[in-house]
Structure 1
Amino acid sequence: MQMKAHKDEKTGTWYFVVSAGKDEDGKRRQIRRRGFKTEKEALRELRKILQQVDENTYVKKSNLKYVDFLKNEWLPSKEVTLRSVTYKTYRSNIVNHIQPYFENQEMERITAAAIEKFYVHLLKETGLSERSIQDIQKLIKSSFKTAVKRKYLAYNPAEDAGAPKVHHKEMKVWNLDDVNKFLESAKEDTLYIVFLLALTTGMRQSEILALRWKDIDFDENVLRVRQTLSHNGKTLIQATKTKSSARAITLVPQLIPELKKQQRINIKEKLAANFDYEDHDLVICTSSGKPINPRNLLRNFYRLMFKADVPQIRFHDLRHTVASLMLAQNINPKIVKEILGHSDIRVTLDTYSHVLPVVHKQTASQYGEMLFGSQQ
């Protein structure tokens, strides 16, 4: 087929008309494009369209606005598959960040370069956290991928958009001495069992605050992570963050008597509250049986850190502390991954890569001693 573009003498621009076979009704299909500044530009677009027609990837221009697609098609399709917390986060990111930037832009006109500029905008002008920016990047990629599947687009520009490098905050963890000082300082606190669980199991805050007695098997000394508490402390979610987050964790022997002590406390408080008790079978709860407000937990945590005179870290860093101490003791990263509930071993290795060089040195030294004996 001879490729040919024509010049519109009235406007001085170039255009082309090309046959694209027949549509589903058997009618002849023609593709027209106008408004190119040069013949070369028109021919480049013509070649691209012919290739798409040949590969059956050509899609008809729809003029569909990206934000309309997100709000009317993509987001509703996710509602049945996502946890309510994740769905609300997606909706908030669309309304507060994507819509103001891409308002009224047609989806097929959004290029990889435009998406890259949006990522830079998020990084430099919004003050969003690293995690929030990554969440929006995932949303963008997923939505454009869906648009390609539904034949609104011929290709996914988000796949070619380079995301700006987000500088990771340096991870802060406690050493063994810090852990012991903190636990000793927290021993008489009403939420001591929370900190003990965090520093022996590596569980997330939301998992600890949603732990039930029926999730603990005292015969096998195992607990099972099966539900979580929402960020605002008002909703118990009958699901975990991911499939891998639903896991079994073997308890350290020293934790068992403390759990049984907590169980006796809960029984006394339930009897005292009588009909005013709201029974969710929670291990960690108020005297009336309701979930603990995460803000109240954090207030205790920061006060006890100051009292113990240990480095100031986030509650989530207790989880990092557990992983770092385990890896430093040569515990297999795959076991650490399963305890933490990571979806992929690469997450564990990437997150705690700073610990691994020390582990490798220890392993090499131990293996050398096994083969050749210790050197004086």
Structure 2
Amino acid sequence: MKVKRDEKRGTWYFVIEAGKDEKGKRKQIFKRGFKTETEAKREMRKVANQVDENTYVKPTKRTLADFFPEWLQSKSLKLRKHTLEVYTGHVNKHIVPRLGQFELIKITTAQIEKFYIDLAKEAGLSARTIQDIHKIVKSAFEAAVKRKYAASNPVKDAETPKVDRKEMTVWDVQEASKFLKVAKEHRLYPAFLLALTTGMRQSEILGLRWKDIDLENEALSVRQTLSHDGKELTVQTKTRTSTRTISLDGRVLETLHKHKRIVMKEMLAIRPIYQNNDLVICTGFGTPVLPRNLLRTFYTLIKKADVPKIRFHDLRHTVATLMLQGEINPKVVKEILGHSDVRITLDIYSHVLPSVHKETAKKYGNMLFNQASSSQ
């Protein structure tokens, strides 16, 4: 490892031994064109450290646009179809048009931050959408570093827009009960009952099969989901922890028993043309209920029940909020909802915790001091 002067060009260069390749052939790193000896030595020490730490990246002209198709292809092995479509849309519409021409090894943190500013000012994207794009670019660069296409991840330390958390809208116990009472006579009542007793996502409810319900142990397993467009059933949940088992109340099981008898009668009535997908929530022909049709019914019933209008996903928030207010352990709530970490549960429902803590303090105080006074 030595710095030398190129007498012909009047510049400095260095050569570093970098071990051997897979064929046992000697590898060398050669860099030239430095104006001063000091500059050459500084770069030589930097490269030597990278070689020692196995982080050295051989210079390449590979651009971000070159890399993204490869990265998206690898992500297709893990991501759900809808999520992959969202990623691909952001890559093609926002990321590649603005950053695609730049070489991976030359992109800087400052450049990434300017990219986010441009997305806000020029493209008019919301802070939440920019955060989603940030996650995509960050993940892509993490993969590029692992594959030795880039020496470091410039996205890791980039500042992102602050996302203001939307105020969560949920029903209280009376409103939830009022809605269920009105919905009880509708064919899709079991879907709303499951939403308000288990906190399942819409896609999970519409993908639920009869074989996923364990009547003996009074529980159901979340294993299959229906796509957003209602065209595809897939044995793949949102995340690894989304595949879970949820205990059911006896009254919910009773409703499911009645609903199954209705479904079986429908199947027998039109057996030749019935499409048996084993779905709990299905049409009279056995086909999946389209998400948009479920939502149309949901909003009609909300109006009829005269309760505050909320999104279907807010039924999930309602379940979590009511459980936490009922002092159910956050870890249990986390498992029911299928969150990957209890910190996610606590973060999302942090607004509930102060009142929970207050009630807990009162109950514990009553228990402690009542016991103390009785022993005097």
Once the two structures are TM-superposed, the CA of residue 207 in structure 1 deviates from its matched residue by 0.4
8 Å CA contact retained: 1:209, 1:291: yes
Shift of 1:2: 8.6
Q: Pairwise mapping of residues 140-155 of structure 1 onto structure 2 (< 5 A)? A: 140-155=137-152
Q: How does 1:190-201 map to 2 (within 5 A)?
A: 190-201=187-198
Structure 2 match to 1:66: 64
Aligned AA for 2:204? E
Match of 1:335 among 329, 332, 337: 332
- C-alpha contact 2:2 2:16 (8 A) present in aligned 1: no
Code of the residue aligned with 2:74 in structure 1: it is S
> What residue in structure 1 maps to residue 220 of structure 2?
223
**Counterparts of 1:76-115 in structure 2 under 5 Å?**
76-115=73-112
- Equivalent AA in structure 1 for residue 101 of structure 2: N
The structure-2 alpha-carbon separation of the partners of 1:367 and 1:124, relative to structure 1 and needing over 3 Å to count, comes to farther
Task: From the superposition, tell whether residues 341 and 56 of structure 1 become closer, same or farther in structure 2 (CA, over 3 Å).
Answer: closer
- Does residue 269 of structure 1 match 2:263? no
Distance 1:287 1:92 in 2: 35
* 343 and 271 in structure 1: CA distance in 2 versus 1, 3 angstrom threshold: same
1:52 aligns with 2:26: no
CA distance in 2 between counterparts of 1:327 and 1:227 reads 27
* 1:248 counterpart SS class: strand
Q: CA 1:79 to 1:15, structure 2 compared with 1: closer, same or farther past 3 Å?
A: farther
TM-score (norm 1): 0.89
Q: 2:230 aligns with which of 224, 228, 233?
A: 233
Looking at structure 1, the residues matched to 121 and 207 of structure 2 have their Cα atoms a distance apart, in angstroms, of: 37
Amino acid of the residue matched to residue 244 of structure 1?
Answer: T
Cα 1:53–1:199 shift into 2, 3 Å = same
Structure 1: distance between partners of 2:362 and 2:3? 70
1:50, distance to aligned residue in structure 2 (A): 4.9
Can you give the 5+ residue segments of structure 1 that lack an aligned partner in the other structure?
none
Q: CA deviation at 1:285?
A: 0.5
Q: Find the partner of 1:207 among 201, 204, 207.
A: 204
Give the Cα separation in 1 of the matches to 2:238 and 2:217: 25
| Equivalent pair of 2:131/2:161 in contact (CA under 8 Å) | no
Residues 1:129 and 1:182: Cα distance change in structure 2 (over 3 Å):
farther
CA RMSD of aligned residues (A): 2.8
Aligned to 1:373, the other structure's residue is in SS state helix
Q: Which residue of 2 aligns with 1:179?
A: 176
Report what 1:18 is aligned to.
14
Distance in 2 (CA, whole Å) between partners of 1:330 and 1:22 is: 60
Deviation at 1:154, TM superposition (A): 1.4
Q: TM-score normalized by structure 2?
A: 0.89
- Within 2, Cα distance between the matches of 1:56 and 1:214? 50
Q: Which residue number in structure 2 is paired with residue 32 of structure 1? A: 32
CA 133–254 in structure 1, closer or farther in 2 if over 3 Å, else same: farther
Task: Give the number of equivalent residue pairs.
Answer: 368
